[in-house]
Amino acid sequence: MQLDLVDVFGSTAFRGNPLGVVHAAEDLSDAQMIELTRWLNFSETTFILPPSNPAADYRARIFYPAGELPFAGHPTLGTCHAWLEAGGQPRGQDVIVQECGVGLVPIRRDGDLLSFAAPPFTRYGQLVEQEMREAARIAGVPTEAVVEAVHVANGPGWKLLRLRSAEDVLAARPVTQAPVGTDIGLAGPHGDGGEVDWELRAFFANQHGTLVEDPVTGSFNAGVAMHLFASGLNRGSYLAGQGQSIGADGRIHCSIDADGTVWIGGRCDTIARGASLPALG
């Protein structure tokens, strides 16, 4: 087994979301996977296995410190990047197929960008008033700044608070503790002429109930993009930014094809490759 460290969605290396990727993880138990995930203490760590579905190129199990996820965005791109760099040969020339908890996820290559096809919603629709107010309290935003509150779950159970502006997003002051399983994100538009079109922030509660801000979040961006395109708030493509409140500088390329497929893309940078792992307890 070997471990790679990959930076995903950054404008440059070291400005995105870090990911641990373990190759040839067939012999690891669930307990060993979660042990390593918690030790690395990244938002997620992935484990590459042979596919069980013949249509897939590889299988990925995605863990965060509180458990396993059926899908997550930056782990999907980072795992694909590490698999390709390790010599993985996809069946298709420009499309790689990852198997994970939500099924098969296509990933396409376009120069330096990898993009995944956003998976379908597992829950979608307006939050009720009480849910909106509690999400706003946890995220630290005044309710008058909330334009819309929507479930955009696609593996993680994201709740989207669409705010009046990017300035409202950056002004949020979240609480420090929240129930395990909390997944709340903010999105607000930048003015015309900015480098990015939308500013996002995303918060989740770890296994101790500590609310953590994620540097750059592919699954949340996927849910936001699907909602923005479906609502007519964006057409064709847009660029999102995330992470500047905590020193990151994420760039997320969001687009929709003529057939309605939404793609979420970004760059991946290998930070370290091929570290040998000792036997885990």
Are 252 and 271 found together in one domain?
Answer: no
What interhelical angle do 73-85 and 218-231 show, nearest 10? Answer: 120
pLDDT of residue 76: 96
**Integer Cα distance of 76 and 73 in angstroms:** 5
H-type alpha helices, 51-174:
73-85, 129-139, 166-171
> For residue 143, what are the domain limits?
123-260
Are 167 and 101 found together in one domain?
Answer: no
Positive/negative CA dihedral, 264, 267, 269, 273: positive
Are 245 and 139 found together in one domain?
Answer: yes
pLDDT of residue 281: 61
Are 29 and 96 found together in one domain?
Answer: yes
DSSP 128: P
C-alpha dist (Å) from residue 39 to 35, 46, 59: 6, 13, 23
Are 37 and 114 found together in one domain?
Answer: yes
**Integer Cα distance of 63 and 45 in angstroms:** 5
Give the strand pairing for 198-205 and 211-214: antiparallel
Domain assignment present for residue 71? The answer is yes
Are 237 and 130 found together in one domain?
Answer: yes
Across the chain, which has 281 residues, the per-10-residue mean pLDDT values are 96 96 95 94 95 97 92 96 96 91 94 94 96 98 98 94 98 97 96 91 92 95 98 96 96 97 97 85 61
CB 146 within 8 A of CB 127: no
Are 95 and 82 found together in one domain?
Answer: yes
Are 109 and 153 found together in one domain?
Answer: no
Q: Calculate the CA 80 to chain-centre distance.
A: 14
Query: Buried b / exposed e across 165-180, counting CB within 10 Å, b at 16+?
Result: ebebbebbebeeebee
**Integer Cα distance of 167 and 248 in angstroms:** 17
**Integer Cα distance of 61 and 159 in angstroms:** 23
pLDDT of residue 112: 87
Number of structural domains in the chain? 2
Predicted TM-score (pTM) of this structure: 0.93
Coil, helix or strand at residue 187: strand
What tokens were used for 249? 């500088």
Question: What would the DSSP string read from start to end of 185-209?
Answer: EEEEEPPTT-S-SEEEEEEEE-TTS
Q: Which residues pair with 104 in a beta bridge?
A: 99
Domain assignment present for residue 281? The answer is no
Are 88 and 137 found together in one domain?
Answer: no
249: CATH: 3.10.310.10
Are 145 and 243 found together in one domain?
Answer: yes
Are 91 and 137 found together in one domain?
Answer: no
Domain assignment present for residue 163? The answer is yes
